[in-house]
Every structure is written in C-alpha cells, then in structure tokens.
Structure 1
Amino acid sequence: MHAMLAAVEFQLPDTRLSNEEVVRFAINWTPQKILDKTGIAERRIAAKGELSSDLAFHAAEKLFTNSVCVREEIDFILFCTQSPDYLLPTTACLLQNRLKLRTGIGALDFNLGCSGYIYGLGLAQGLIETGQATRVLLLTGETYSKFLSESDFGVRSIFGDAGSATLLKSVDSPEQLMGPYVYGTDGRGAENLILKRHSLRAAEDFSTSEEAVSSDDPATLYMNGPEIFSFAIEAVPKAVNELLQRAQLQRDDVDLYVFHQANEYILNRLQTKLAIPKERFVIAMRDYGNTVSATIPIALHAALAQGQLRPGMRVMLVGFGVGYSWGACLLRYQPD
C-alpha cells in the first residue's frame, strides 16, 4: 500500500484587511507599493472568538460535504497549528468531537509553522504505509492576526488567517506517489520569529542577549524580516537540490513547484535563483497573504482551479520559516 494525497480544501475568515487599511500604520507606503513588494492585496483576519480550530473545522466539513470522504472512514487527525484553542487539551481532540468522527481514531496536534504542511504529509504517509491508518485528515489552522501589533507594519502587511484540510488515503498503487522528503532544522534562528506570550519563559528573555529580541511586548509576534529572508535564500535552494538528488531527478523533471507563500519578493528571488520557469512556479497569495501552514494547501487548491495542476503531474512542495524549520517533498498528483 502507498499513501496518496486525495483532496484539498481551505477556509478563510470573512473579515478582509486591505492594503488601504494597512498603510495607516506605515509612513511612505501606498497600497500599490505593498502589492508590488509583497504580492498581497488583502488578507483575511479572524473575528473575535474565531479560532484556528474553527477554520480547520470548516475546511474539513467541505471535504465531507463534497463527498470526498466519509466520516466513518477517517482513522487519524493531524492538526498543525501554532495558535491552538488551549495549551491543553489537544485541539485535535476537540476537532474529533466537533466533526462527529468515531472515537476509535488517533488525534494529535503538532506545533510547526510554515514548514508544517510538509511535516504533516510525512507523518500521514508514515501512518498509512506502516498500516496504522488508511485515511488521515491533515488539518492546518492559524490565526497569527491575534498575535500581531497593529503598529507593526512589517508583520501586519504580510500575515493572514486561514485553515486547510487535506485527505490522505492508502491506495493499491505499483509506484510510490509521495516522497522522498528532505527536512531541516536550525534552532539558532528561533529568536528571529518568536512569540513569548503564554510561554513558560515569558518572564525571561529567550536568549541571553538583550539585543537578540527587540520586541518589548511579549504578547505580540516579533519578526526579523532581513534575517528570515537571508535564511530562506540560503536554505531553500539547498533543500530543493538535495531532494532532486535523492529522487535522482533533474529540475525539469518536476512539473510544478509549490513553495510556502511567504511573500512575492522572496518567491521571485527563489524562482530566479533556482532557474525555475514561471509557468512551473505557483504564486497564489494575492487575496490571502502569508497564512503560515495553510499557504501550500491553498496554493495547491488555486493551482488546481486555474488548471496549473493536472492529474499525473510530479509536484515539489517546499516549506520554510519559523524555527528555523524547513522541509521539501515530491508527490505525484493523482486525485480521487
């Protein structure tokens, strides 16, 4: 048995935050300049009381409503989030009950950001191909907006909220449809994208250096944009080349590249540096922003809707960001 990505859905909050609203917090910026620099025209913002589990729930319900999967057949829930409902209990357990899934299933949260979707695919594939599950519901959900300072233009202009749901299932296929994978971790970069709020270290500095974290408010997200950019430009091409080497493929053997949608400036630099043709490179963030672990499934859904992703294509997925953490994998798109 092999694992297969069978279907993807996503959910956005109703509230829109346009560039016209964002520029209220920035000097010498215009809505068009934000669009030109980031590739983002608007982002969705979760309402008060609307949490990551709500977005993941509605994304999953779309799969059930569209008859892509049957509730009784789900064996495992994996929920990727850095904004869970509670410190405990596990939000995946709450989603099992809310989705009315049977109790004889596994459910767990894993805390990972922009590389989380890749890690989730790897976990789901492992569950399926070791016989522990036949159908896994991989959910993501983030509400970073609840952690952002309204006056911090750098993060406010980029991040949006969203949830996604991906069905992975076992299939009797003669070929491997998912993999190989490449993972990477460098905890030295942790302080460059950090939220101290509610942490057990909230009363202390994350590092011994007072200058390392310049945010004075532990309740808001701190991001060192230039350092994140430098990390991505160095780590992502290495991961792509390592994955191609492991798969014994050339760059042109991959039909479509779907990277984490950090912002258009980073994506354009990576696409140029890797010499990937534009028609094989997905950019789908204009109306969503950077939705963290949901960007890759949203981009997959958009590529499918636009005809850019077609059955039989070999696709490379690459996630990178907070941690630092990165991951890349190949899959053969064979929808249900």
Structure 2
Amino acid sequence: VNEQLIFALVGEGSNGKSVLLDVLDRVLGDLVYAVPDSVIQPGRGDAHPTELMGFKGARLAFASETKREGSWSVAQMKKLRSSEAITARLMGQDFVSFQPTHTLWLISNHRPNVGPGETAFWRSYREVHFPTIFRREGVELAPGELRADPGLTAHLIEHETPVVLRWLVEGWEAYRSEGLREPQAVMAASAEAQAEASPFSVFAREAFTLAPGESVPASAAFALWQAWKDQSATLTHLRPNVARDISVLATELGVEYVPNRGGASPALISGLALTPAGQDLARELADRGPYSRGPKISSAALEWLREHAGLRAVSSQQGGPVVGVTAPARGGFGVATVTSIQSGGPFAAG
C-alpha cells in the first residue's frame, strides 16, 4: 500500500500464473480478493460500490483481464492502487469508508492497452513477465517450452502450504528491513511495456528523441502524428485527433509543453528533436506540400519540417519565390522534388 504500485503478471497462457494465484488464494484465504473483471473495464465510470467491499481487509487483490483488444481503465487502477480511503457498501446496506490494505495485481495474457499521456500510470506499473510456456503430455514442445506438471497445484496446496506461507513472511520481513528492491528484469519489462502500450507511444518513440535545448512546433508534431496514422486505416481514429491535444506528446515523453500565449510565437514541445525515422517522416510530409491529399499542414509547420528533414532551400535571383529542392527519398533512390515557398523566409539561403 505504501508503495502505491500496480504489479502486472503478464504472459501468454499456460505459463504458471494460475498456479501461483491458486496457491496464494488457498494459503491466504479471506485475505485475497478476486476483483471482478468489470472493475477494470473502461467506459464504466466508477465501479459499483458493492464491487469495492471485497477490498476491505484484503492483503492481495487481483484482477484478470484477458481480452487482447480490450483496454484497461487507468482511472480505476489509479484509485485502486492509491492509499486514499475506499467508500463502498454491501447490497442493501449503508456506505462505509475504510483504508486500503491491499496490493493490487493485474493478471493478463498481454500488456496493457493504455492511451497516450498516462505517465502517472506508468510510474506505478511493474511488470512481472512469465515467458515460459508449459505444455501438457502429448503436445509437442517448441524450443524453450517445458512439460507441465498437472498435479503441481494440488501438491503445493496439500503438502507445501506452510512453506509457501513462510516464504511470504520472509518476503515481508525483507521488505521491512531493506525496502522494495526492484529486479532489473521487472524494470526492463515495465519500460518495454510502456513503449509498446499504444500506437501513440510507438509513434512518439520512433519519431522523437530527447534533446535538451531543442524544440518541436506543436503544429509540426501533430502533422507528423497524422502522417504516421495514415500508414494504416485502423489507426485513423486514434487520439489525439485535434491539433490542440498534441500536448500529450510532452507528457508521454516527460518534457515540457509551451503553449501559444498569443502573438507570433507558436506552441512548442520543448526538449525534443527528430530521430532519423522522424526525419524520414518529415521528408515525406515536406514532399507532399501544403495542398496535397493527407493531413493539412500550416506553412510554418511545413517550413520547420523541411528544415529539420535535411531539405535545403535556395533563394531565387529575382527576389521571387524561393525554390526548395528536397533531398532524395529514403535509401537515396528517390527523385528530387521541387517545391515553392515564399522568398525571404527564415529558411531561405542568402
């Protein structure tokens, strides 16, 4: 409870998660609460108060979520892992409030599907990965798989309960004396889960890198996100889908969003620069021009994209429009494209 962390046991089926939970459920008895699946489903608002009564006095609360296409309700999980009092009631009875005593475990066959900007969730997320698959007798083993012991759960419950209980007590004593020592494997899996959590997270880490002193115009970042989504029809509906919401990129990557406070200064995302993949995407956008099909791009964003994609602009001899000659496309096999921007702009060569 003091750590306010969420522990996720993640791995494809037949890897030991159920064995662990069944044994702990028997050893701890009434101190375990199996949280209804509906509590962590998105779109429900607050959980029904009767569903929360099971947390009273529980030391271990676990919820199972196995729908690959489903999302986890981040708002619910934040509440359930906090140290704030829980208000609940039994069916037909008055409300009561109590302090949480539980550690929250999430059991899933896949990593969480969490929307952009949920850095508070990821700070509390700790993933315990279950990589090994156990197959029953008669099923051919793939490399790395092991043979399942169908009697393991029953054996542990019938013969090893005191040993398991002692193991739990020793773990508590170690925590009291040394604090929470987080294994490197857990931290690495947690970071990997965050990077893969949502298409927006993937985009953010593909297109941008941390760069103190640099900044990206919010309009350019939104144009890049729109172009990235254009790669697949299944992505077009994803948030953020309006330019003003691209500020979640700063939250996603732990940098600062500087809003437009009026005048000519655009909104910026400070502390970021384009990766090589981001430069490729910027080059594709710059090649399209402002009037092509696809995401609408402001002239200021287009100029920034041209400059930071490694494109060069050459001023005309007559003081007319500046002709920008783009760099070759990816791999160096593309044909140079000629586009036009206004003369005297910030990226015109002298």
TM-score normalised to the size of structure 1? 0.22
Q: Which has the higher contact order (CA 8 A, sep 6+)?
A: 1
TM-score normalised to the size of structure 2? 0.22
Of structures 1 and 2, the larger Rg is shown by 2
- Higher strand content, 1 or 2: 1
